[in-house]
Amino acid sequence: MLKKTLVIIGCLVGLLIVATGGYAYYLYHSVKTAANNMHEPLKRDETKPKPKLTGEAKKPISILLLGVDERKGDRGRSDTMIVMTLNPKKNSMLMFNIPRDTRTEIVGKGTVDKINHAYAFGGPQMAVDSAEKFLNVPIDYYIKVNMEALSQIVDSLGGITVNNTLSWKDEENGHVYKKGEISLNGSETLGFVRMRHQDARGDFGRQERQRQVISAIVDKGAHLSSFTKIDDILDVLGNQVKTNLTFDEMKDIQKNYAGVRHHVESFEVKGQGKMINNIWYLLVSDQERKQITEKVKQSLS
C-alpha cells in the first residue's frame, strides 16, 4: 500500500470520513491509536524535509508499498514492491511494480543482488534506499504490509471485486478463479495475488493482479458502507502494517489527495532474465531505467 491509494490508506480514509457525530470521539481516537501503532519512521525522517501536503503549495508524493511474508524469527523478503505516485494537482496516480528479481545495488550492504533481498538485509530503510537508487527518484513514504494481513483486511471490508484475465484452480486451497469479474474473500485474494506458475506471464502476471487488488481495496475502503467491522480493520492495521506516515500526514493525504484514485495509470518494468553464478536475475537495461525515471518524474511534476 496510501490515502485512497493504498491498502492502509484506503481503509483509514473511510474511517476518518466517518469520524463525525456522537461516534466521532471513539472512532477518531481508535484510528489515531492504530496509526500510532503503525508508525515506524526511517532514520532519515529526522533530517529529510517532508513534502507539503496541504494548501495550494501541496506537492505530489511517492510511496513504496512493501508486501512481505514475515514469519516468527524471519524478517522475510519484500516479494511485492509497488511504487505509487500521487499528484493532487493533476488528480492522477501512477503505479508499477519493481520486479522482485531485479538485479541492482543494495544500498547500505555494498553488494549487487536481487532487490527484494534489501528488505531482508536491512528492513524498510534498506528497501527504500535501494529503490531510490534503482529509480533515481526520491521515495517520500513507505508502507509495509504483512501479506497474511491482506486476507484479514479484505475480509474486514466484506470482500473485493476484480477483473480476472484468466481461469485457473488453486490446487493448494481448492479455490477456483473464473475469467471475468469475480468477487474474492480474504483467502481467495491471497491466492489471487500469489499465483504465477499457471500464468504464462509468470511474475509479471502476478504483479498485475497485485495492482488490481490494491485498486479494489482502495475503492472498497473509500465507501462508508465497507466499514461494518471497524474494530477488526483497526486491529489488523495496527498489528500488521508499518509506515513512516504519521497520523496527521494520513489525514492530510485523505483530505487533499482523494481524487487521484479516479485516474490511475500503471505500467510494467521490462527486463531480460539471466543466470549469474547459478542465480536467476532480471536485468533492467540503463535505457529502460532512464525511461522509468522520466515517467516517474513526470508524474511528480
**CATH number of the domain where residue 85 is located:** 3.40.630.190
Q: Does residue 99 belong to any structural domain of this protein?
A: yes
Q: Does residue 14 belong to any structural domain of this protein?
A: yes
Alpha carbon separation from 111 to 117, 129, 203, 276, 289 (Å, rounded): 11, 13, 24, 14, 19
Q: Which three cell numbers stand for residue 208?
A: 498485475
Domain that holds residue 80: 7-299
Model pTM above 0.85: no
**pLDDT mean over 264-277:** 93
CA distance 195 to 118: 23
17 pLDDT more than 60: no
Phi-psi category of residue 59: left, alpha or beta, with phi > 0 → left and psi -120 to 50 → alpha: beta
Reported confidence tier of residue 88, pLDDT bands at 50, 70, 90: very high
**pLDDT mean over 21-47:** 76
Burial class from Cβ neighbours inside 10 Å (0-12, 13-18, 19+) for residue 281 reads buried
CA distance 104 to 98: 11
DSSP annotation of 39:
B
**pLDDT mean over 141-170:** 85
CA distance 240 to 37: 10
2 pLDDT more than 70: no
Is 99 within 8 Å of 207 (Cβ atoms)?
yes
In the predicted model, what is the mean pLDDT of the chain? 83
Q: Among 156, 146, 148, 153, which Cα is nearest to 241's?
A: 146
Q: Does residue 244 belong to any structural domain of this protein?
A: yes
Phi-psi category of residue 290: left, alpha or beta, with phi > 0 → left and psi -120 to 50 → alpha: alpha
Reported confidence tier of residue 215, pLDDT bands at 50, 70, 90: confident
Provide the pairing of β-strand 80-87 with 111-114. Answer: unpaired
Q: Does residue 20 belong to any structural domain of this protein?
A: yes
Burial class from Cβ neighbours inside 10 Å (0-12, 13-18, 19+) for residue 240 reads buried
Q: Which three cell numbers stand for residue 87?
A: 499528484
Q: Does residue 187 belong to any structural domain of this protein?
A: yes
Is 164 within 8 Å of 181 (Cβ atoms)?
yes
Provide the pairing of β-strand 80-87 with 92-97. Answer: antiparallel
Is 143 within 8 Å of 245 (Cβ atoms)?
yes
Burial class from Cβ neighbours inside 10 Å (0-12, 13-18, 19+) for residue 36 reads exposed
Query: What does the pLDDT read at residue 198?
Result: 86
- Which residue carries 513504496 as its cell? 64
224 pLDDT more than 80: no
Is 6 within 8 Å of 13 (Cβ atoms)?
no
CA distance 188 to 42: 33
Query: What does the pLDDT read at residue 73?
Result: 62
Number of folded domains in the chain? 1
Q: Does residue 141 belong to any structural domain of this protein?
A: yes
CA distance 54 to 156: 30
Radius of gyration of the chain (CA): 18
Query: What does the pLDDT read at residue 53?
Result: 93
Between 34 and 120, residue with greater pLDDT: 120
Q: Does residue 2 belong to any structural domain of this protein?
A: no
235 pLDDT more than 50: yes
Is 72 within 8 Å of 271 (Cβ atoms)?
no
Q: Does residue 291 belong to any structural domain of this protein?
A: yes
